Structure 1
Amino acid sequence: MNSQIHISSCDLNGILSLLEDSKMLSSNIAALEEELVRANVVDKEAIPKQVVTMNSTVVFKFVGENKVYIKKLVYPVDIENYDDISILAPVGSALIGMSKGQTLNWLMPNKTIKTIKVINVIK
């Protein structure tokens, strides 16, 4: 069982709107919807600083690998460069709502399960 995640009502509404407008049907969208269902939804002001929200810059890695990633979580239309990651990308969907130090098992597109660990969250 994965740990509890937190999401602001503002982010939830934005993501749900994106999903309603999305023509994509994929297992990744289904996984994102499952994450949203299990999330603890709170006001934006109540989200702790170390929780990944939309537009947070996240330092993370895959457990068992040495490479560390630094990515900004954004909506697909807001991607500006390689340092941005879409909320609709498999890792982007996994990161939303996670906290510093938290890990999450996530099914990747190649059907392997990877454990993602959040090292830091920069607002």
Structure 2
Amino acid sequence: MAQLPPITISTLDLARLEALLDKQPDSETVRRLEDELERAQVVTPENMPGNIVTMNSVIRFSMAGGDTFTKTLCFPRDIDGSKDKISVLAPIGSALLGLEAGQSIEWPGPNGKTLTVTIAEVEYQPERAGDFQS
């Protein structure tokens, strides 16, 4: 099995995600997110590096060939049908949490193909903006 990349999360996100998981029925997705939280380095929001994907971050991705797209990592309550939002409870959402700009991730593409995309930039991160209420 490939070694998982290191991840960092804030104490604020950890508390909110643990409260969310306490209300979820047991599933593979819930267990995957619990595993991510257990292996994460945890820091205070004020000490979160600005290039890390946290909850409510806006992330710009790049693909081979130069195409880019942008998504926001959200709590399930904030998903409003927008194609630009990803729930942290989606497999790709839990995989994004705690990664940093420059890291790559496999993304489910059209026709069942898996694409490798790179986190080009964390365009907005609540902690970097001093927004600890999101």
Q: TM-score w.r.t. structure 1 length?
A: 0.81
1:75 corresponds in structure 2 to: 75
1:64 deviates by 6.4
2:61 corresponds in structure 1 to: 60
Q: Which has the larger radius of gyration?
A: 2
1:26 deviates by 2.2
Letter in 2 for 1:54: M
Gaps of 5+ in 2: 125-134
1:70 deviates by 1.1
Between the aligned partners of 1:122 and 1:33, the Cα distance in structure 2 is: 26
Provide closer, same or farther for how the CA distance between residues 37 and 46 of structure 1 changes in structure 2, counting only shifts above 3 A. Answer: same
2:34 corresponds in structure 1 to: 33
Asked if 1 retains the 8 angstrom alpha-carbon contact of 2:32 and 2:94, the reply is yes
Letter in 1 for 2:40: A
CA deviations 1:62-81 (Å, max 9, x no partner) are x7687543110110101132
1:101 deviates by 0.5
1:102 deviates by 1.4
Q: Aligned pair count?
A: 119
Between the aligned partners of 1:57 and 1:19, the Cα distance in structure 2 is: 22
Between the aligned partners of 1:67 and 1:102, the Cα distance in structure 2 is: 16
Between the aligned partners of 1:35 and 1:6, the Cα distance in structure 2 is: 10
Instruction: Tell me the secondary structure at the aligned position of residue 21 of structure 2.
Output: helix
Between the aligned partners of 1:39 and 1:114, the Cα distance in structure 2 is: 25
CA deviations 1:14-69 (Å, max 9, x no partner) are 1111010112x3222211111111100000011111100111001235x7687543
Runs of 4+ aligned structure 1 residues displaced above 6 Å come to: 63-66
Asked if 2 retains the 8 angstrom alpha-carbon contact of 1:72 and 1:83, the reply is yes
Judge which range, 6-15 or 98-107, deviates more: 98-107
Q: Superposition RMSD on alpha carbons, in Å? A: 2.6
